[in-house]
Amino acid sequence: MFERSRLNDFLSLYLPSFFVFLGMSIVSPSLPLYAKSFGVSYTLVSLAVSIYAFGRLLADIPMGILADKIGGRRLTVFGTIILAGGAFFNYFAPDFTWFLILRFLQGIGSSMWQTARTSILADMLKPEERGRVMGYFSTFMLLGSSTGPTVGGFVAEWWGIRAPFLAYFIAGIASTILSFFFLIEPPKKIHSNNHFFSLSYVRHLLGIRAFAIATIGSFAAFFLMTGIRGTMLSLYANTVLNLDQFSIGTILTYASITNLFLTMPVGYCVDYFGRKSITWIALFLSGISCLLYPFTTDYFTISLAAVFMGIATIGTQQAPMAMVTDATDTEPRGLSLGVFRFFGDIAFILGPILLGLIADSTNLQMPFYFMAIIMFLSAIIVALFGVETYSRRKKINVS
C-alpha cells in the first residue's frame, strides 16, 4: 500500500538527495588536484571530470529501461551504493587508470540514481504539485551542492587530499540507508508495453510536442550551466578582470544561493502559471544574463551579473522537468525520462568544449554572446511552438 506523508517525503526523497549532492560536491575542490597528484598532464586531469559525465551519458537510457523493469526504489539504492563504493575505492586508488575507471562507474551510478529518483517523483506526484515538490527536491540538492565545497576544502586541509573521498563515502552510505528503509515504490503509470530502446521510439517521444519542447529547454539550460557557469565565468573573471580564486568562488556562490532561495517560489509558479510560460521566460532572462557579463568591469559588477543569472536560470530546470513529466504520463516512465536526460547530458558535455573552442578562436567575450543567442532562440521556440501541459491558473479561470 502506497502511503505518503511529509515526514516520509523528507526521509526518503529530500534528505537522501541532500547527502548525494553533498558527497558529489565535497570532492569538487580537490578533484583536479588529486588527479594531478598522479603526475598526469592537465588534459588528463580534465578527463577526470568529463569521464564522469560520459558515464552518465552512456547509462541514461539503459538505466531508464531498468527503472521500468525492476522499479525505481531498487535502482535508487543500487545507484547510491555505486556512488559510495566508487568514492571509497578512489580513496585507495593506486594509479590514475583506476581513478578514471572508478569515476566512470560513479557516473553510471549517478545516472542510475538520478533517473530512478526522477521516475519515482514522476509516478508519485499529481500534476498540480509537480512544480512545487520538485522545487523542494531541488532545494535540498542545492543545499548539498552549496555546502559540499566548503566541507570538502576543510576535510582536505586537515586530513589530506584523499580524505574528501571518505567523506563522500559516508554521505553516500547515509543516502543509501535512508533510501533503503524509507523509500516506497509508487504505483507505476505505464500504458505501453514498449520497454526497449529504439530509434523509432525516440522519434515517437520527440513527436510529442511537449516532450520535444521540454528537451529543447533542458538542453539549453544544461549547455549554459556547464559552459558558462561551470567554465567561462571563471576564465573570464580571472583572465579579463584579474580576480583571484577566492573571489571567483564567492561569485559562483552568489548565483547558487540565489537559486537556492528562489527554487521553492518558482516551483509554485510552475504549478500556478504553467510550465510553458515559466520555461520561455526563464530562457529569455537567461539570455539577458549572458549578455551582462562582457560588460562587467570589476568584482562588484560581475557579482551583480551572477545574482541576476541565479534569478534567471532557476526556472530553466524545474519547468521543463515538470513539462516532460506531464507529457510522459502514458509512456514507460523510466525509458522516456532516460531519453530526456540523455539529451541534457549531451549538452552537459558539449557546453564547455564548444564554448572553449569559440573562446580560443575569438576572445573570452564571444562565448557569452553565443550563449545568449542560443537562449533567445530556445525561448522563442518554446513560446511559439510549446503547448501548456498544466496550469492551475487556467483551470481556475475556466471554472
Q: How far is CA 267 from CA 18, 39, 103, 199, 332, in A?
A: 18, 46, 32, 33, 25
Q: How far is CA 352 from CA 143, 346, 369, in A?
A: 24, 11, 15
- Cα–Cα distance, 32 to 152 (Å, whole number): 13
- DSSP letters, 78-125, are HHHHHHHHHHHHHHT--SHHHHHHHHHHHHHHHHHHHHHHHHHHHHH-
Angle of helix 96-124 relative to helix 72-91, nearest 10 degrees?
160
Nearest to 196 by CA among 319, 28, 335, 315: 335
- Cα–Cα distance, 102 to 91 (Å, whole number): 10
- Cα–Cα distance, 310 to 18 (Å, whole number): 20
- How crowded is the C-beta side of 395, counted as CA atoms within 13 Å? 11
Q: Work out whether the CA dihedral 111, 117, 119, 122 comes out positive or negative.
A: negative
What residue ranges define each of the domains in the chain, with the CATH number in brackets?
Answer: 9-183 (1.20.1250.20), 195-399 (1.20.1250.20)
- Cα–Cα distance, 198 to 206 (Å, whole number): 13
Q: Which residues touch 1 (CB under 8 Å, ≥6 apart)? A: none
Query: For every one of its 399 residues, what pLDDT tens digit does the chain have, with 9 covering 90 and above?
Result: 455 677 887 888 889 999 998 888 888 767 767 777 788 776 677 677 778 888 988 998 888 888 888 888 889 999 999 999 999 999 998 888 998 999 999 999 999 998 888 888 877 878 777 877 777 777 888 788 777 777 777 787 788 888 889 999 999 999 999 999 988 877 665 444 455 667 888 888 999 999 999 999 999 999 998 888 877 888 888 889 998 867 777 787 788 788 888 888 888 899 999 999 999 999 999 999 999 999 999 999 999 999 999 899 988 988 998 999 899 888 888 888 888 988 988 988 888 888 888 888 889 899 999 999 999 999 999 999 999 998 887 764 333
Global pTM?
0.80
Q: How far is CA 327 from CA 212, 213, 394, in A?
A: 10, 10, 18
